[in-house]
Amino acid sequence: ETDEDEAHLPRTLHPDQQHNQPSQKWKTEEEPDEGPQSLRFCPSRPPGSQVDPSAMYSPLDLFHMFFTKATVRTLCDNTNRKAARNICRGKKFKWIDITVKEFYKFIGLVLFTALVKTRAISDYWKTNSIFSIPFPATVMNRDRYRIISWNIHMSDPDEDAINDSKKGTPEYDRLFRLKPLMNDIRHACLSCFHPHRNLAVDERMVASKLRNGLIEYIKSKLTKYGFKMFVLADASNGYTVDYAVYIGKNTFPVGFGMSYDAVMSLVRPSILGSGYHVYLDNYFSSPKLFKDLFDMKMGACGTMREGRLGFARSEENALTKKSPRGSLRWIREGSLLFVKWKDSREVSMGSTIHQAYGGETINRKHRSKSHESIPVPTPILEYNKNMEGVDLSDQLITYFSAQRKTMKWYSTLFYHFVDIATINSYIIHKDLCKVKKIQLMTHKEFTQVLVAQLCQVSIETRSKPMNMGHTPVPIKLVADKSKRSSAGRRRCEFCKKSGRSDKDTPSKCNECGVALCVIPDRNCFHDWHNLEEMAPVEYQSSDSE
């Protein structure tokens, strides 16, 4: 993973600068730390869901807050224009303009495929197989679903052409095809829910291996190839508060380095309020960022690389390779605390929120399988507790992700926006249930109900009537009573299998369709179904075991 801050914030100081800086001695846990000035928490809105708590909201109502009818209408208009252009270019498919109602059904099927996994999309419409899935065909036929997915488009194709003509100039927008939906979802994320005090900023990878200039590789991530996003999440529940798609050095206009600019662009006091605590990993953390956030009345805590400009470099009483496990050192420079702690390896932290050590301990296991309690710095405990906000959001997305392989790079991010909307809707549902003190749905139950409501069907299906057994019926129905015993006569299958002379019958089994005798002295119907080893497999009773 590369850190583009290094172009703006050199890792080491000039020797003259180092000489002019006052040197402090590293302190231990035995020396008290008063801690920084406490920040008053003043959110711009009450934290939590920003909906009427007395009203009842279905999963579809919550999803509509993100994919509003106006947003979907724009998607439909642009998709219809894109399909018309593709047909003009010679693409051969039959197209009927998609409506808002049908688009919601399409999203419902997208989420259905996230719940019920198959190897290929065509498998959802497979028939005449024990592995057939009947539901998708009742909502939309296979070709219609595939044609919509091929043509789905978020921006106006005519404006795309104007933007494409600006390639190579500063006016060219690399995210133009995403902007309409991306901006609508961002606005909905910020307006529908206000985060609690603890926030986390981290990178998120949207898996893709398309050959595109936006694809990144990050070795440390579980998903190593894909589109990189900077995400601001609520550390308590994983709600995606805000995000930005990485497009290179021009992603943010601030100009103090990518990691600094990413945090400053996502953590905005004008929208959030003041007194928030932001948790970061060492890609983002720097003394300058922490001090600037504190000046904005925002606390920060995170792991920090010792090579960052402004990091405490005193050698007096510092940790060494021979320092025992649990050794702790700290230096405070005004509001900013630097902490080093020896665990299995040395960990460096920075914080403008916590004191160095509050008496906390943690258990560690020896090779001899015994346990010991060692001191742990307060910033490290709080960091481990709150930094997993984005990871929690990623984890929720992976359970029932709408993501699938696609040939168009912007379609990959379209499906990710569907995931964000679904997960954020579920988090709001949990928040409302907690406020009302009512039973909440599980993540799976919520998604299942949402699929049913998007597809406008009931989640409950009527069970098939029990098989009441095979019954004899006439082979041919005739109105003339005198012809009923002779109309449609066929050779009895049981008589044929038994080697009897040709015996014709006007009766057949309604279930099997097999001609069988039903007369007092020769009940082939009864014998056939009780000696099924004589019948071909396709004729055997479904009640047999």
Q: How confident is the model at residue 317 (pLDDT cuts 50, 70, 90)?
A: confident
Q: Tell whether 285 and 375 lie within a shared domain.
A: yes
Q: How confident is the model at residue 8 (pLDDT cuts 50, 70, 90)?
A: very low
Section 359-380 average pLDDT = 83
Residue 368 has a pLDDT of 65
Residue 32 has a pLDDT of 87
Residue 14 has a pLDDT of 42
Q: Tell whether 153 and 301 lie within a shared domain.
A: no
What backbone torsions phi and psi does residue 206 show, to the nearest 5 degrees?
-100, 110
Residue 23 has a pLDDT of 66
Contact 303, 283 (CB under 8 A): no
In whole angstroms, what is the distance from residue 376 CA to residue 128 CA? 63
Q: Tell whether 289 and 338 lie within a shared domain.
A: yes
Does the residue 46 lie in any domain?
A: no
Does the residue 329 lie in any domain?
A: yes
Amino acid at 328: L
Looking at 389, 416, 446, which one is the last position of a domain?
Answer: 389
User: 387-397: per-residue pLDDT in tens?
Assistant: 877 788 888 88
Give the count of domains, the chain.
3
Looking at 389, 412, 429, which one is the last position of a domain?
Answer: 389
Q: Domain span at residue 78? A: 51-170+400-454
Q: Is the pLDDT of residue 312 over 50?
A: yes
| DSSP-assigned letter for residue 482 | G
Looking at 337, 356, 389, which one is the last position of a domain?
Answer: 389
Contact 349, 314 (CB under 8 A): no
Does the residue 15 lie in any domain?
A: yes
Contact 401, 419 (CB under 8 A): yes
Q: Is the pLDDT of residue 154 over 90?
A: yes
What backbone torsions phi and psi does residue 525 show, to the nearest 5 degrees?
-60, -45
Q: How confident is the model at residue 476 (pLDDT cuts 50, 70, 90)?
A: confident
Section 42-48 average pLDDT = 95
Question: How many Å is the maximal CA-CA distance in the chain?
Answer: 120
Residue 487 has a pLDDT of 84
User: 82-101: per-residue pLDDT in tens?
Assistant: 999 999 998 888 999 999 99
Does the residue 394 lie in any domain?
A: no
Does the residue 355 lie in any domain?
A: yes
Q: Is the pLDDT of residue 138 over 50?
A: yes
Q: Tell whether 112 and 243 lie within a shared domain.
A: no
Task: Note the Cα 424 to chain centre separation in Å.
Answer: 9
Q: Tell whether 288 and 315 lie within a shared domain.
A: yes
521 CB neighbour count, 10 Å cutoff: 5
Q: Tell whether 247 and 226 lie within a shared domain.
A: yes
Q: Tell whether 318 and 205 lie within a shared domain.
A: yes
Q: Tell whether 296 and 330 lie within a shared domain.
A: yes
Q: Tell whether 334 and 249 lie within a shared domain.
A: yes
In whole angstroms, what is the distance from residue 494 CA to residue 529 CA? 10
Does the residue 463 lie in any domain?
A: no
Does the residue 43 lie in any domain?
A: no
Q: Is the pLDDT of residue 308 over 80?
A: yes
Q: Report, in this order, helix, strand and coil percent for the chain, each rounded to 5.
A: 35, 15, 45
Q: How confident is the model at residue 472 (pLDDT cuts 50, 70, 90)?
A: confident
From residue 198, alpha-carbon distances to 47, 48, 75, 389, 398 in Å are 11, 13, 35, 9, 23
Residue whose C-alpha is closest to residue 424's, from 450, 453, 406, 404: 450
Residue 22 has a pLDDT of 53
Residue 7 has a pLDDT of 37
Q: How confident is the model at residue 464 (pLDDT cuts 50, 70, 90)?
A: low
The string of DSSP codes covering 49-85 is E-S-TTS---HHHHHHTTS-HHHHHHHHHHHHHHHHH
Q: How confident is the model at residue 18 (pLDDT cuts 50, 70, 90)?
A: very low
Q: Is the pLDDT of residue 287 over 90?
A: yes
Q: Which residues of 456-473 are buried (b: 16+ CB within 10 A; e: fewer)?
A: eeeeeeeeeeeeeebebe
Highest-scoring range by mean pLDDT, 304-313, 358-367, 390-399, 421-430: 421-430
Residue 529 has a pLDDT of 81
